[in-house]
């Protein structure tokens, strides 16, 4: 998958648990876990905005595009 989700990295940098982020963003731990594992098919901009606000980061800190040709 060319999109890499670095949510776990940002959470570690902010010393925030999945439970705390889930409660503060207002989404279930299950959905946040799916996003964290890179298994999500989509993310709402409002959710991404809330995550970025809480983690004090930019969307590019969480989502990273890696070209198919560079993955090999």
Q: Domain residue spans in the chain?
A: 3-71
Strand-pairing partners, residue 5, are 63
Q: How far is CA 9 from CA 1, 27, 69, in A?
A: 18, 19, 24
The CATH code of domain 3-71 reads: 1.10.260.40
Over residues 5-44, the pLDDT tens digits come to 999 999 999 999 999 999 999 999 999 999 999 999 999 9
Report the distance separating Cα 10 and Cα 30, nearest Å.
18
SS3 (DSSP) at 6 = coil
Over residues 49-70, the pLDDT tens digits come to 999 999 999 999 999 998 877 6
Contact 37, 30 (CB under 8 A): no
- Look up the pTM and report it: 0.87
């Amino acid at each position: 998958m060319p999109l890499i989700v670095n949510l776990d990295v940002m959470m570690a940098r902010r010393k925030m648990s999945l439970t705390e982020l889930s409660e503060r963003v207002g989404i279930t731990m299950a959905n946040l876990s799916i996003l964290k594992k890179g298994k999500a098919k989509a993310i709402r901009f409002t959710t991404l905005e809330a995550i970025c606000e809480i983690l004090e980061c930019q969307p590019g800190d969480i989502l990273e595009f890696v070209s198919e040709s560079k993955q090999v």
